Structure 1
Amino acid sequence: MIGKLAVVVLFVIGFGIGVVLYLINISIYMLSKAVELFLYILIASIGIVVAYEAKSIKEVMAGIDLSVRLVIATILGSILGGILTALILHSDVIVYLAIALGMGWYTFTGSYLATIDSYLGLLGFTANMFREIATILLYPILSKKYPIEAISIGGATTMDTTLPIIARFTNTSVTIIAFIHGLILTLLIPIIIPAIMATNPKTFIPSNR
């Protein structure tokens, strides 16, 4: 419980510091690069530990099987979320499907949708960034009862930014599933979003813009 609370508290503190630095206009470019480097090192370390602790190839193959099923569930859940959001906001289903199917990859989703419209780019970036934040905050809590199912919240981020959180609160088997799940989604998203937007060339911009 202490570990889970620590993750939330540290995130909130870091977020607060980031807001203050932004308000006083202090660049954090070097810090962001250092964090990126540390993240890569951490992911590599997790890979070494997972490979060392994996009991057998059979365990890895079982992880692949579960990951594929989880990917399907994540995509279906994202589709449902996109449709419900569009209905609630009385807006274009295609647009919100594309945003929801960004599945946490906010840099790609935001950048791609921005080529169509800057407002859509902002929506895509923000919605998917919050999905990553939600994973960081909620996974430590949900992992106790739903370690595998809760991976879906992270979407594509489970292969990189949220993988350390998942590894911290679960075990080798779940970490393998999370990484493969995120990897598959990362490969699919650049195909899915353009395909969806291509079905709606006259993109409708929400009326409450």
Structure 2
Amino acid sequence: MNVSGFMFIVVFAASIIIGKLTPVAVSKASDKLVMPIVITLIFTISLWGGGQLTSVSGAGLLITYSLTYALLSVALSYVVGVMMGERRRNGSFRPMSKAPLVFILTLTVGWLLGVVLHVIGVGSIVEAELIALAGIIGLSSSRVMSIKSLIAGGRIGAEAGVSALLGSVIAGSLLSFIFNIRLNTSLAIALGMGWYTFTGPVVALYAGPYYGLLAFLSNFLREQLTFILVPFIPGSPQALISIGGATTMDDTLPVYVSVLGKDYSVASISNGLLLTILVPIIVPLVLTI
């Protein structure tokens, strides 16, 4: 692991501890800083990557690759989950948040400016922003991260997490061969578990802005596919929860509560917490293989 990956883990862990030791108001206040930092990171990495993608064909290929990663990761996670679980309950669907529209706009503007301006030295800025994100996310999530909260989800949350991990590893391995991408880079992209705001910048630092954008879009699309697919496909709770990856503790949680019922909210949160803790460790480690 290089210095950047090590620092992210250290800052992330330290900020969780700090959040536990300080008043709840501190972690709640940090919630307001997450979105500005995330938007800044998305803009910076797209600005960086825009200089690498100067043709329509290049952009089209990137989107194709991203959608393939998202679809295959979701499909294989789902299959493994079906093998582990039981049939789901029926339920209604709640609409998705409008926040992703801001991310799409930011990504588009950053990419277009990158194509025109070809800004240099952006990598060091991404590194600093990523460290700041680690601290803010650690403080923000410190209220809910505990051994008890991880155990509370029980068997279903754990099996969903295992399904997501296995499905993503298989997807990353297959697509490494199909797209002729280095195995460690391909695995890191697939193992982002929908956490695009983390995986994109980290992959960019290790493998370059093109693969950073691929990682961002792949995991962004995985989250969006969760909103689209979960209300309409059959399967076990393990299978459906595994589709959302790390997002099941926050962004996609309303979908699981409405589709599976409140009884499965703990399992969804447990799965999301488990993967949220593992992704910042696994992704940098895989990239150094």
| TM-score, normalised via structure 2 length | 0.48
Aligned twin of 2:251:
161
Question: In 1, are the aligned partners of 2:151 and 2:270 still within 8 Å (CA)?
Answer: no
Report the Cα distance in structure 1 between the residues aligned to 2:168 and 2:97, rounded to whole angstroms. 25
Matched letter for residue 191 of structure 1: I
Deviation at 1:2, TM superposition (A): 10
Aligned twin of 2:217:
126
Question: In 2, are the aligned partners of 1:106 and 1:129 still within 8 Å (CA)?
Answer: yes
Report the Cα distance in structure 2 between the residues aligned to 1:134 and 1:110, rounded to whole angstroms. 18
Matched letter for residue 227 of structure 2: I
Aligned twin of 2:185:
95
Report the Cα distance in structure 2 between the residues aligned to 1:125 and 1:188, rounded to whole angstroms. 18
Q: 1:69 to 1:3 in 2, by over 3 A?
A: closer
Report the Cα distance in structure 2 between the residues aligned to 1:149 and 1:155, rounded to whole angstroms. 11
Aligned twin of 1:178:
268
Report the Cα distance in structure 1 between the residues aligned to 2:228 and 2:197, rounded to whole angstroms. 20
Is 1:111–2:212 an aligned residue pair?
A: no
Describe how 1:10-25 pairs up with structure 2 within 5 A. none
Is 1:147–2:237 an aligned residue pair?
A: yes
Report the Cα distance in structure 1 between the residues aligned to 2:92 and 2:159, rounded to whole angstroms. 29
Q: 1:65 to 1:11 in 2, by over 3 A?
A: closer
Question: In 2, are the aligned partners of 1:110 and 1:125 still within 8 Å (CA)?
Answer: yes
Aligned twin of 2:164:
74
Deviation at 1:148, TM superposition (A): 3.0
Q: 1:89 to 1:180 in 2, by over 3 A?
A: same
Report the Cα distance in structure 2 between the residues aligned to 1:115 and 1:156, rounded to whole angstroms. 21
Q: Which runs of 5+ in 2 are unaligned?
A: 1-89, 110-143
Report the Cα distance in structure 2 between the residues aligned to 1:146 and 1:2, rounded to whole angstroms. 14
Q: 1:62 to 1:109 in 2, by over 3 A?
A: closer
Higher relative contact order (CA 8 A, sep 6+): 2
Question: In 2, are the aligned partners of 1:82 and 1:93 still within 8 Å (CA)?
Answer: yes
Q: Which runs of 5+ in 1 are unaligned?
A: 24-46, 48-56, 200-209
Aligned twin of 2:226:
135
Aligned twin of 2:137:
none
Report the Cα distance in structure 1 between the residues aligned to 2:181 and 2:91, rounded to whole angstroms. 42
RMSD of equivalent CA atoms:
2.9
Q: Deviations over 1:103-147 (max 9, x none)?
A: 1000000111122211111011000000000001001112x5433
Deviation at 1:177, TM superposition (A): 0.7
Report the Cα distance in structure 2 between the residues aligned to 1:98 and 1:188, rounded to whole angstroms. 12
Aligned twin of 1:51:
none
| TM-score, normalised via structure 1 length | 0.66
Question: In 1, are the aligned partners of 2:172 and 2:186 still within 8 Å (CA)?
Answer: yes
Report the Cα distance in structure 2 between the residues aligned to 1:103 and 1:145, rounded to whole angstroms. 19
Matched letter for residue 166 of structure 1: Y
- What's the % identity of the aligned pairs? 37
**Higher deviation after alignment, 94-103 or 147-156:** 147-156
Question: In 1, are the aligned partners of 2:193 and 2:245 still within 8 Å (CA)?
Answer: yes
Q: 1:92 to 1:61 in 2, by over 3 A?
A: closer
Matched letter for residue 137 of structure 1: I
Question: In 1, are the aligned partners of 2:193 and 2:244 still within 8 Å (CA)?
Answer: yes
